[in-house]
């Protein structure tokens, strides 16, 4: 599996000539979902779900797996190509085996209602949690780590790595994190998380 980091929470996975894209939202590149065979969306917030980009991907032949709040905005226009999934579901998308974990977005503030959120474990190896600190009931080799968000603090990020216990954690959800802050986050997560920690710049790839 080849992983390419896109901006913010978007990643592209390639295997055997097929491409799977997760969360090509408004903070990601305009072409983040271009050429995708399948797209997974964790939740409805615009930094993870951009309707225009997803409609363009569907029109070009992609298939989509997501939760009901997103699927409801697309399914009628693309019958049979937008599938609703939830916690505990398993499916195959573009040749990748996917398990769904989680149900709710992390708490931003008690006064704000929580939207639904699902995470995706791909090929039993890579876990993308969306906007939640979901711990799957399955070993994780590569954790896509939401490193900076209005709903989190660094101690929670570190404890999340400790709880999941991946072999490595790679940063996502980082569009709002300045370059000045990155070395601080890198040091604390690497020293305290208990796992190999790294980050890829947008467009950079790694073989997993």
The pLDDT value given to residue 59: 96
Mean per-residue pLDDT, 101-125? 97
Round to whole Å and give the CA distance between 207 and 58: 27
Round to whole Å and give the CA distance between 203 and 155: 28
pLDDT digits (tens, 9 = 90+) for 120-157: 999 999 999 999 999 999 999 999 999 999 999 999 99
Number of domains, the chain: 1
Q: What is the pTM of this model?
A: 0.97
pLDDT digits (tens, 9 = 90+) for 173-204: 999 999 999 999 999 999 999 999 999 999 99
* CATH number for 28: 3.60.15.10
Domain range for 140: 2-207
* Percent above pLDDT 90 for the chain: 100
The pLDDT value given to residue 17: 96
C-beta contacts of 163-167 below 8 A and 24+ residues apart: 163/133, 163/135, 164/127, 164/135, 164/136, 164/140, 165/139, 165/140, 165/194, 165/195, 166/127, 166/140, 166/141, 166/142, 166/195, 167/140, 167/141, 167/142, 167/195, 167/196
Average pLDDT of the chain is 97
């Amino acid at each position: 599996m080849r992983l390419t980091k896109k901006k913010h929470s978007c990643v592209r996975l390639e295997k055997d000539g097929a491409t799977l894209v997760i969360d090509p939202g408004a903070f990601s590149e305009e072409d983040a979902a271009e050429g995708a065979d399948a797209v997974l969306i964790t939740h409805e917030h615009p930094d993870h779900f951009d309707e225009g980009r997803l409609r363009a991907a569907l029109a070009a032949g992609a298939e989509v797996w997501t939760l009901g709040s997103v699927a409801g905005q697309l399914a009628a226009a693309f019958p049979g190509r937008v599938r609703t999934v939830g916690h505990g579901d398993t499916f195959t998308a573009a040749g990748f085996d996917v398990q769904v974990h989680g149900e709710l977005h992390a708490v931003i503030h008690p006064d704000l209602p929580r939207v639904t959120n699902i995470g995706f474990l791909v090929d039993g190896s890579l876990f993308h949690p969306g906007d939640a600190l979901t711990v799957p009931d399955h070993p994780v080799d590569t954790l896509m780590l939401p490193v900076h968000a209005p709903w989190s603090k660094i101690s929670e990020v570190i404890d999340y790595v400790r709880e999941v216990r991946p072999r490595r954690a790679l940063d996502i959800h980082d569009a709002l994190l300045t370059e000045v802050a990155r070395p601080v986050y890198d040091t604390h997560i690497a020293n305290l998380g208990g796992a190999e920690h790294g980050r890829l710049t947008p467009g950079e790839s790694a073989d997993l």
